């Protein structure tokens, strides 16, 4: 069982990261991916993410997961708030019994620097430069905030702006600014030799 790590967080929240080394059949013992997912790798990632939900909470009702028009997975009864991410050979899941959450994991990849101008605000370009760790952390932070918001229609470069930070920081702050949501989010950061991970736990 290649569990990379498992962490208990505040507000009855748990986080786990899995190194995907098993075949799909290992994960589908608990969860069967929708028929519409045909690509083998995407099916594997999908199943691994849902499997992690049941690893964090044994009674997590994965078969009751719904997907909104904005592609946000959720439970109708909101018994659990959760976020799933996967990149490279890793899958991660964040589950809270109290608060809305958002989380993103991104394996290090120089290709991200090519798309960075599309999601960076001018103030972020000023401190991130061509640094892969900073740019990847910004991307993960915005993805996590986007998942936390859950309503879609977000301009990554204008609606979400991070305060300047350094790679050594464990907490960073992001201003989420839309007419229906003006909020200063504090996000947690974890950088490893393999990936960047950022999450937010907020009401």
Tokens of 23: 């075949």
**Listed residue (111, 156, 157) closest to 136, CA to CA:** 111
**Listed residue (82, 92, 63) closest to 11, CA to CA:** 82
> Which whole number is the average pLDDT over 174-198?
97
**Listed residue (191, 131, 118) closest to 164, CA to CA:** 131
Q: Rounded mean pLDDT of the chain?
A: 93
pLDDT at 1 over 60: no
Q: Check residue 152 and give its pLDDT.
A: 93
Burial 71-82 (b: 16+ CB within 10 A, else e): ebbbeeeeebbb
In the chain, CATH 3.90.470.20 covers 3-104
pLDDT at 91 over 80: yes
Q: Check residue 146 and give its pLDDT.
A: 98
Confirm or reject CATH 1.10.645.10 for domain 3-104, answering yes or no. Answer: no
Q: How far apart are CA 173 and CA 185, in angstroms?
A: 6
Q: Check residue 160 and give its pLDDT.
A: 98
pLDDT at 31 over 80: no
The pairing of strands 90-96 and 100-107 is: unpaired
If residue 16 lies in a helix (H) or strand (E), which one and from where to where?
strand 13-19
pLDDT at 32 over 80: no
pTM of the model: 0.94
Q: Check residue 61 and give its pLDDT.
A: 93
pLDDT at 33 over 70: no
Q: Check residue 24 and give its pLDDT.
A: 85
The pairing of strands 66-67 and 160-162 is: unpaired
């Amino acid at each position: 069982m290649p569990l990379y790590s498992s962490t208990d967080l505040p507000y009855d929240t748990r986080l786990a990261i899995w190194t995907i080394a098993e075949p799909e059949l290992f994960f589908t013992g608990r969860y069967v991916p929708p028929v519409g997912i045909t690509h083998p790798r995407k099916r594997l990632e999908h199943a691994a993410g849902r499997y992690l939900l049941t690893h964090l909470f044994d009674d997590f009702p994965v078969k009751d997961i719904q997907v909104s028009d904005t592609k946000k997975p959720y439970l109708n009864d909101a018994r659990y708030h959760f976020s799933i991410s996967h990149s490279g050979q890793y899958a991660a899941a964040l589950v809270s019994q109290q608060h809305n959450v958002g989380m993103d994991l991104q394996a290090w990849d120089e290709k991200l620097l090519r798309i960075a101008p599309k999601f960076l605000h001018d103030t972020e370009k000023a401190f991130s430069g061509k640094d892969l760790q900073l740019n990847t952390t910004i991307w993960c932070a915005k993805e996590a905030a986007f998942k936390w918001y859950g309503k879609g229609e977000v301009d990554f470069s204008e609606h979400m702006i991070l305060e300047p930070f350094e790679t050594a920081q464990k907490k960073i702050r992001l201003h989420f600014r839309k007419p229906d949501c003006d909020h200063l989010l504090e996000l947690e950061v974890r950088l490893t030799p393999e990936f960047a991970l950022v999450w937010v736990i907020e009401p």
